[in-house]
Chains A and B, each alone.
Chain A
Amino acid sequence: MSSADERKWAGMMRASLAGDEQAYRAFLSEVAPVLRRLVRAKAGGLDAECEDILQETLLAIHLKRHTWREDEPLRPWLFSIARYKIVDAFRSRGRRVALDIDDFAETLPAPADEDATRRGDMERVLATLDDRSAAIVRAIGLEGASVAEVGARLSMSEGAVRVALHRGLKKLAEMRARMFE
């Protein structure tokens, strides 16, 4: 990753941590193809699982983003989380991989993007959530509803929707991990 890229991403992360939804979405959208490439490079036969592993990694980055100190470089932090999660994800699927910071050096996205349309395992995990959390995640994720719209639909305050969404995402990560135990 060039230092210009790193600075750009660090700026986006700072904005995200301040609550800027657009900046955060842009950040994740830029990081995802880079991580996808990283995962694919190690897949060797587990190609079908790559998108799932990528999604697990993004979820982990999301849930632990408060561990980045804004006065510290972004790359080591991002790589460290990605490596921990990717190695763990492959290990649960019976494959040992090793990741190196040099693997992370390039920010070229994965060649073909058809994987971005793959549905992935998250659906299965969503089904294990309670009805309300699952409904919130689906409404926001699949239908593109805003937090306010979801609140109106389910007769919940915006704040309550946000709390439920956050808990739902944490549960998603937990259930995902348990599926492989």
Chain B
Amino acid sequence: MKTDDLIRTLAADAAPAPPVERLLRPALAGALAVSIVLFLAALGLRPDFGQAIETLRFVVKPFFPLILAVCALIVLARLWRPGARAPVALLALAPLLLALAVAFELGAEPSARWGALLVGENAAKCLFFIPVFSAAPLAAMLYALRHGAPTRPALTGAVVGLVAAGIGATLYALHCPDDSPLFVATWYALATGVVAGAGALLGVRFLRW
């Protein structure tokens, strides 16, 4: 087929596809609902939620992953459009805030306690459930992003992973018995890293076009 013929054919396919946002919003909303249902069914809010909510540590805890999710989503919105500059540095905000919190914790707690605070009561549960609650958002976003044109599939997949992990971790934080920033900086971060890594691998596989 000659190039002019191809152009003629392309021109006949006149109506452009809807923007990625149009697919992403319902996909993300649906996935969020799935994760919330999973959370309530499997874990539910922390039993002592009423008292916990009076402690600063507990109230602040979900904001770290939430801020991460929001920042990652902002970066993601630039990544699925070719030619747009993605403010990747924004991803450092949540870790920075967490580092600040860790600094405060180390200052506030005697060093004898640091080890116990870091190890926490249930790291395994954290490492298991955060990916579980991240799964639906991860899948939904990757599906919607295939509609876009991400020119860096691995990075885009990783950032999708960060959004998903942010959502999963925010949910888990509402149940999690360990409030220390030391715990969050270790185990939540590890779980986030795993989900982001999975996102990168899946991005390479599914986001090419």
Task: Closest A residue to B147 by CB, please name it.
Answer: A66
Q: Are A67 and B13 in contact (CB under 8 A)?
A: no
Assembled-state Cα–Cα distance A66/B149 (Å): 9
Assembled-state Cα–Cα distance A113/B122 (Å): 69
* A17 cross-chain contacts in B, Cβ below 8 A: 16
Give the A-B contact count at a CB cut-off of 8 A.
130
* B12 cross-chain contacts in A, Cβ below 8 A: 21, 140, 146-147, 162, 165
Q: Are B16 and A84 in contact (CB under 8 A)?
A: no
19 more A-B contacts (CB under 8 A) besides A140-B8, A141-B6?
A19-B15, A55-B1, A64-B82, A65-B16, A66-B17, A67-B81, A67-B148, A76-B84, A77-B83, A78-B83, A81-B149, A81-B151, A84-B82, A120-B1, A122-B6, A137-B9, A141-B5, A162-B15, A166-B15
Q: Are A55 and B3 in contact (CB under 8 A)?
A: yes
Q: Are A169 and B9 in contact (CB under 8 A)?
A: yes
* A54 cross-chain contacts in B, Cβ below 8 A: 3
Known: A58-B6, A67-B20, A77-B83. A28 touches B11 (CB 8 A): yes
B6 in complex: contacting residue of A19, A59, A117, CB < 8 Å:
A59
Residues of chain B from 1 to 59 with CB closer than 8 A to chain A in the complex: 1-20
**Is A100 in the interface zone, CB < 8 Å from B?**
no
Q: Are B82 and A118 in contact (CB under 8 A)?
A: no
How big is chain A's contact interface, by range?
35 or more
How big is chain B's contact interface, by range?
20 to 34
Known: A76-B83, A79-B83, A126-B1. A66 touches B8 (CB 8 A): no
Q: How far is the CB of B16 from chain A (nearest CB, A)?
A: 4
Task: Closest A residue to B152 by CB, please name it.
Answer: A84
**Is A25 in the interface zone, CB < 8 Å from B?**
yes
Chain A 25-55: CB-based contact to B (< 8 A → 1; otherwise 0): 1001100100000000000000000010011
